[in-house]
Amino acid sequence: MDRLTTRKVKNSKSISIFGAIILTTSLTSCTLDGGSPKASSSQSQEEQNMSGSQREYLSVSNKPGVEPTVGKPIGDAPTTLVSQDIIVGTGDEVVATSTLTVHYQLISWKSGEILQSSWKSSPIDFPLNGVIAGWQQGMPGMKVGGRRLLVIPPELAYGASGSGPIGPNETLAFVVDLVGVQ
């Protein structure tokens, strides 16, 4: 190699390394919540990973105790479980063995239609360990009084078989208001 080519290669490597340092520094110094402290420092790394980014998957109203207004899903369906608090509750906390009392809406990611809603009647009760894996993984840590968005990929929902109005391999969105926990 001649001197000019050698100098270009060295400059190119320097620029690449400098760019990587700047990018890493900027990404690690940014927060998605405006720099506010975490709501709970007891949240496990797994729970933080499940929450994903604070991307808006669909709009959900945040008025407690009132049936939520839910918009159509935005963009491609996530391929991993999303568990995002819309309203952070202050009551008792869900654990894997809890029995839950909830109001919920089930939304088809594909069509954006509400497939089921408990808001037309009373809240429903069920043991958390008796429902689909997406709920079992996405509900622990939620507190009574909260509203949570769960976006559940097919492999954590009803898979290739579907169920009732839920089509095969359908991604589901649930908006869940936690009324009680035992």
Compare 5 and 129 and report the one with higher pLDDT: 129
pLDDT 10s digits, 85-108:
999 999 999 999 999 999 999 999
Fold held by 45-181: Chitinase A; domain 3 (3.10.50)
pTM of the full structure: 0.71
Residues recorded for the chain: 182
What's the confidence (pLDDT) of residue 1?
A: 52
pLDDT 10s digits, 150-161:
999 999 999 999
* CA dihedral angle for residue 36, residue 40, residue 41, residue 44, rounded to 10 degrees: -120
Averaged confidence pLDDT in the chain: 79
* CA dihedral angle for residue 153, residue 155, residue 158, residue 160, rounded to 10 degrees: 110
Domain boundaries, the chain: 1-30, 45-181
| Mean per-residue pLDDT, 21-41 | 31
